[in-house]
């Protein structure tokens, strides 16, 4: 009994160290950072013998890591195919100011997340949103919140929107159409309400005098062209180098091949990009057909690499390997904490009060899911309590499909509660930090100030709209 108690204490200590380092960017007594803090938590779980090394290896969720990796690579090649040039035109076309831009980001992010997952959306759009905000001389954090919060909300609508929905769809065997029909109304209303909350919170920051706004718009029109939208890293040298190389190549082609052959080369370039778009369409069709999500995305990533017919190393270097490292450590740390038995004890205590046959039980269940999702992340929470929630619903002859959909909705929206609530939040933080040499940091407390009211309001509204 003493040994069990010691494991509980040591496992809790290891998890607490991981949590502190994950939440706070700099910790005076251990300034190693978030990326190193996650593997440290995992290492402590093994050193303290909370879990065995073999169990630690098995705890690393390769499908999710593969999905994150594949999503980042797909995002890089989508950029090379100029897909984000059109997205930039959509966000900037006939813009009516900062408030209009924020609403457009919410809409585009939500739709993109339902199709490409919230992680992919955040990977490919974060730096783009930062660039627009910078060029308009606007504070970036309202737009980053709009991007990531709408991405999380939008991803709740489909089984392919995020990893936890994929798990729920597989375990519950809910057909894709029923899943979409059950959550889509809540998602649509949630995105709308989320935009209203952002507008209310940042109305003054988004209010720019008209003359200044027009001046910024003129500057933006000169800066944001089709070539500029293709830069995934804000490097003036890279921009200058590309412009010079493009000009030199154009002159050489004109002098040696003539304008007619120049047009042929341009047409060939467009043709290759068309193949990229066809590959993306094929990926979406495969996902809608029920193919394995991770392998479909990874296959798409390397198909695009082959079609690019160039050394893939520069593209692969844009992948955030520090984020993948963070997730590896997180999986092991959460596994060790689950082995202490504390999460199971919490559920056994709460379960009699968290049944979905009455309003109070739904509120308690939602509160538990929000807390667990922000402590353990949403994917481990779904794996931990998913079948228990469904079993509880079946025991009282309630709609088990509705129980699964409530779990999907709350665990996904709960990602907006805190900075560590979802992978999308961490992706936005990591991308924003790397966007400039001096970095841009989304603080934990600033996120919490927006995330708490947004999560509570949108979760409550959505619960009234979830259908079984």
The pLDDT tens digits of the residues spanning 21-50 come to 876 767 888 888 878 888 999 999 999 999
Angle at 203 between CA 197 and CA 209, to 5 degrees: 155
d(CA 250, CA 237): 20
- Rounded to the nearest angstrom, the gap between the alpha carbon of residue 141 and the centroid of all alpha carbons in its chain is 16
Cβ–Cβ under 8 Å, residues 17 and 41? yes
Instruction: Specify the DSSP class assigned to residue 351.
Output: G
Better-predicted residue by pLDDT, 174 or 210: 174
Lowest mean pLDDT among 43-52, 171-180, 395-404: 171-180
Domain membership flag for residue 92: yes
d(CA 445, CA 456): 17
State which of 177-191, 245-259, 322-336 shows the largest mean pLDDT: 177-191
Say what the pLDDT of residue 71 is: 78
**Nearest-CA neighbor of 414 among 446, 382, 391?**
382
**Nearest-CA neighbor of 383 among 328, 343, 433, 428?**
343
**What string of DSSP letters covers 307-327?**
HHTS-SHHHHTTS-HHHHHHH
Quick one: tokens of 308?
Answer: 């690019």
Say what the pLDDT of residue 193 is: 96
d(CA 65, CA 42): 16
Q: pLDDT class for 222, splitting at 50, 70, 90? A: very low
Give the residue-averaged pLDDT of 118-135: 80
Domain membership flag for residue 2: no
**pLDDT, mean over the chain:** 78
Say what the pLDDT of residue 134 is: 80
**Cβ neighbours for 149, distance < 8 A, ≥ 6 positions apart:** 106, 194, 198, 416, 450, 451, 454
Say what the pLDDT of residue 87 is: 66
Q: Angle between the 118-135 and 83-92 helix axes, to the nearest 10 degrees?
A: 50
Cβ–Cβ under 8 Å, residues 133 and 352? no
Domain membership flag for residue 29: no
Domain membership flag for residue 400: yes
* % residues pLDDT > 90 (the chain): 22
Give the residue-averaged pLDDT of 124-146: 83
Say what the pLDDT of residue 174 is: 83
**Nearest-CA neighbor of 133 among 147, 115, 122, 119?**
147
Say what the pLDDT of residue 25 is: 65
d(CA 44, CA 50): 8
Q: How many domains does the chain have?
A: 1
Domain membership flag for residue 382: yes
Say what the pLDDT of residue 85 is: 65
Cβ–Cβ under 8 Å, residues 454 and 416? yes
Say what the pLDDT of residue 334 is: 82
Say what the pLDDT of residue 259 is: 45
Better-predicted residue by pLDDT, 159 or 414: 414
Say what the pLDDT of residue 468 is: 65
d(CA 449, CA 90): 30
Say what the pLDDT of residue 121 is: 82
**Residue 145 clears pLDDT 50, i.e. is over it:** yes
**Cβ neighbours for 113, distance < 8 A, ≥ 6 positions apart:** 120, 121, 150, 151, 152, 154, 155, 161, 162
Angle at 254 between CA 248 and CA 259, to 5 degrees: 140
Say what the pLDDT of residue 398 is: 73
Domain membership flag for residue 15: no
Say what the pLDDT of residue 217 is: 45
Range of the domain at 386: 82-205+341-467
Say what the pLDDT of residue 426 is: 78
Lowest mean pLDDT among 89-98, 103-112, 153-162, 244-253: 244-253
**Cβ neighbours for 181, distance < 8 A, ≥ 6 positions apart:** 467
The pLDDT tens digits of the residues spanning 256-282 come to 444 444 444 444 445 556 777 888 888
Rg (CA), the chain: 23
Beta strands in 278-388 (DSSP E): none
**Cβ neighbours for 22, distance < 8 A, ≥ 6 positions apart:** 34, 37, 38, 326, 330, 420
Domain membership flag for residue 450: yes
d(CA 256, CA 259): 9
The pLDDT tens digits of the residues spanning 48-98 come to 999 999 999 998 888 878 877 887 788 778 777 777 667 666 766 666 778
**Residue 212 clears pLDDT 80, i.e. is over it:** no
**Nearest-CA neighbor of 129 among 265, 224, 239?**
224
Give the residue-averaged pLDDT of 111-129: 81
d(CA 461, CA 191): 11
Cβ–Cβ under 8 Å, residues 190 and 413? yes
Q: pLDDT class for 191, splitting at 50, 70, 90? A: very high
Alpha-helical runs (H) found in 60-97: 62-80, 83-92
State which of 73-77, 141-145, 233-237, 259-263 shows the largest mean pLDDT: 141-145
Quick one: tokens of 241?
Answer: 């180098």
Give the residue-averaged pLDDT of 365-371: 92
Say what the pLDDT of residue 441 is: 63
């Amino acid at each position: 009994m003493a040994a069990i108690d010691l494991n509980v204490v040591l496992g809790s200590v290891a998890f607490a160290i991981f949590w502190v380092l994950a939440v706070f960017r700099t910790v005076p007594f251990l300034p190693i950072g978030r990326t190193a803090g996650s593997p440290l938590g995992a290492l402590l779980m093994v050193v303290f013998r909370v879990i065995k090394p073999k169990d630690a290896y098995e705890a690393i969720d390769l499908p999710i890591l593969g999905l994150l990796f594949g999503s980042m690579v797909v995002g890089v090649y989508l950029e090379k195919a100029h897909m984000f040039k059109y997205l930039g035109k959509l966000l900037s076309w006939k813009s009516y100011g900062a408030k209009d831009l924020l609403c457009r980001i919410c809409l585009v992010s939500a739709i993109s997340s339902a199709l490409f997952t919230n992680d992919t959306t955040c990977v490919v759009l974060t730096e783009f949103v930062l660039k627009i905000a910078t060029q308009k001389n606007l504070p970036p954090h309202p737009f980053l919140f709009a991007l990531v919060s709408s991405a999380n909300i939008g991803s709740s609508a489909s089984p392919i929107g995020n990893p936890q929905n994929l798990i729920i769809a597989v375990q519950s065997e809910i057909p894709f159409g029923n899943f979409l029909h059950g959550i889509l109304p809540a998602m649509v209303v949630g995105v709308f309400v989320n935009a209203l909350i952002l507008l209310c919170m940042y109305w003054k920051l988004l209010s720019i005098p008209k003359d200044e706004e027009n001046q910024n718009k003129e500057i933006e029109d000169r800066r944001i062209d089709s070539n500029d939208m293709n830069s995934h890293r804000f490097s003036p040298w890279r921009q200058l180098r590309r412009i010079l190389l493009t000009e030199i190549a154009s002159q050489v082609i004109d002098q040696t091949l003539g304008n007619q052959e120049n047009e042929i080369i341009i047409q060939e370039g467009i043709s290759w990009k068309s193949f990229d778009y066809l590959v993306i369409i094929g990926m979406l069709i495969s996902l809608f057909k029920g193919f394995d999500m991770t392998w479909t995305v990874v296959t798409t990533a390397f198909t695009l690499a082959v079609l690019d017919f160039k050394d893939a190393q520069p593209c692969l270097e844009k992948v955030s390997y520090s984020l993948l490292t963070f997730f590896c450590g997180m999986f092991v740390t959460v596994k060790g904490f689950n082995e202490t038995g504390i999460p199971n004890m919490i559920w056994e205590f709460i379960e009699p009060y968290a049944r979905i046959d009455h309003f109070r039980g739904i509120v308690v269940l939602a509160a538990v899911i929000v807390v667990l999702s922000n402590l353990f992340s949403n994917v481990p929470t779904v794996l931990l309590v998913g079948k228990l929630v469904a079993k509880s619903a079946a025991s009282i002859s309630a709609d088990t499909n509705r129980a699964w959909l409530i779990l999907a909705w709350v665990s996904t929206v709960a990602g907006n509660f805190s900075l560590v609530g979802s992978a999308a939040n961490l992706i936005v933080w990591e991308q924003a930090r790397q966007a400039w040499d001096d970095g841009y940091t989304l603080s934990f407390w600033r996120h919490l100030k927006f995330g708490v009211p947004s999560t509570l309001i949108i979760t409550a509204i959505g619960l009234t709209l979830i259908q079984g």
